């Protein structure tokens, strides 16, 4: 298992765009690796089509996207035609690569197997994992969904906005935050430093009298 803050494995893998070494493929920006249980399955088709249509949004955030399942590259290439048809995606090619993890090495290494879901041979399928990797090649976020629950990629874009903001500013994002909403000044920032960095911040009074809920739009 890779934990938050760990360097993400620099694995080599066969993909729909050829063999890659992950760190080289990722470059200097952010990345998302997301797994799906199996090719030619309904929920997975909706997810990969949605991601394909959201590639311009990921590109705005300097995020590269790569998918993974335990099927072969040949299977992936055949399935891509269905994904493009379902998503109304026109033109040649496909906007992001899909990893072929036929021997399940990456699925095991990254803790992505779902024991409750098995293929026709009785082997466990990969769950719906999401890994966000920062420019330092470290794991910034991980989410594991069961195979039966499709992901919300609008939420994943929101998460990336939060991760990128909080990586450069001394703030945290509160519940249901969206870009443009108020942020919370980190509790570790002293009152003096809070005033210097966010001179127009406001505080929320609470019964304890402690001044720890400090809000700002100055980010």
Which tokens go with 27? 């470059």
183 carries an active-site annotation? no
Do 128 and 147 meet the contact criterion of CB atoms below 8 Å apart? yes
Which one is catalytic: 44, 70, 127, 183? 44
Do 97 and 20 meet the contact criterion of CB atoms below 8 Å apart? yes
Query: Catalytic amino acids?
Result: 44
């Amino acid at each position: 298992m890779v934990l938050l803050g760990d360097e993400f494995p620099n694995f080599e893998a066969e993909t729909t765009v050829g063999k890659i070494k992950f760190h080289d493929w990722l470059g200097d920006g952010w990345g998302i690796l997301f797994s799906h249980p199996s090719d030619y399955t309904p929920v997975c088709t909706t997810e990969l089509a949605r991601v394909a249509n959201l590639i311009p949004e990921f590109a705005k955030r300097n995020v590269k996207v790569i998918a993974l399942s335990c099927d072969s590259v040949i299977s992936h290439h055949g399935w891509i035609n269905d994904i493009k048809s379902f998503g109304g995606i026109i033109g040649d090619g496909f906007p992001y690569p899909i990893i072929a993890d036929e021997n399940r090495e990456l699925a095991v290494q990254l803790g992505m197997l779902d024991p409750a879901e098995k293929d026709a041979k009785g082997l466990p399928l990969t769950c719906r994992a999401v890994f966000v990797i920062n420019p330092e090649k470290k794991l910034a976020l991980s989410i594991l969904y069961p195979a039966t629950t499709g992901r919300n990629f609008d939420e994943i874009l929101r998460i990336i906005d939060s991760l990128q903001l909080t990586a450069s500013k001394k703030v945290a994002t509160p519940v249901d935050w969206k870009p443009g909403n108020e942020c919370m000044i980190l509790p570790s920032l002293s009152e003096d430093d809070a005033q210097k960095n966010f001179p127009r911040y406001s505080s929320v009074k609470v019964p304890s009298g402690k001044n720890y809920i400090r809000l700002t739009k100055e980010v």
